[in-house]
Amino acid sequence: MTSTLTATTQAPARTWSAVLFDLDGTIVDSASDIVASLAHMFTEMGVPVPDDATLQSYVGPPLLDSLRLMAGFSDTEAVRALEIYRAHYEQYLLRSPVFPGVAGVIELLHHKGVPVVLATSKPESMATAVLEHAGLAQHFAVIAGASDDEVRSTKADVVAEALRRLQAIGVDTARAVMVGDRGYDTLGALANGVPTILVEWGYGSPAEAADALAVVHSADQLRALLVG
């Protein structure tokens, strides 16, 4: 499902030292499969399945936190629900298509020598499999995601880990930028001093664009902001 983010006046293109990408809703269109697995999980947990709009709101933020805060599960219930969800979702993990034009932007950045990084709240092992299946993994200098045990799961923690790994290989992170689709991406990046460009084709809402550097509605606009 495409969001209704309103494009803002775009900031001028800059010389970025690294570009961090979110995965779900930014690179791949995974919402329908995630929502289906969430519905399965709620059914298996013996609770009413939320409506589609509510299920959609689970796409993006760390799922374990959402299960506690939004679904009202106890810690034990949330861990069990997460196990059910992952077991179901793994069957559909590699079906998500890449959004039109996004692969070209990633390939261009890599070709120009700009380090490309993944920073996602999806488990790192799953995220790696998605990028490998899409033929994009070789363009990424770093693939950072949530740890399987969810100890590292917030976007702020994932972005911090991505930046740490970049610095470890000698990349200047002072002029990094995040590309995402949700307010969680913006806030997590800002917690690490990184501005965010939000993409309109993802799963966000207009209210989530308030703290973004810019909002783009096409891969061509994104390319212009990242490489001029």
Of 22, 33, 157, 185, which is the active-site residue? 22
Q: Which sequence spans correspond to the domains of the chain? A: 18-30+97-227, 31-94
What residue type is assigned to position 54 of the chain?
T
* 18-30+97-227 matches 31-94 in fold: no
pLDDT by residue (tens digit) across 141-190? Answer: 999 999 887 778 799 999 999 999 999 999 999 999 999 999 999 999 99
Q: What is the pTM of this model?
A: 0.90
CATH class of 31-94: mainly alpha
To the query of whether residue 22 is one of the catalytic residues in this protein, the response is yes
135: left (phi over 0), alpha (psi -120 to 50) or beta: left
CATH fold of 18-30+97-227 reads Rossmann fold (3.40.50)
Residue 5, both tokens: 């983010």
Residue 146, both tokens: 């949530």
Q: How far apart are CA 216 and CA 7, in angstroms?
A: 6
pLDDT by residue (tens digit) across 33-63? Answer: 999 999 999 999 999 999 999 999 999 888 9
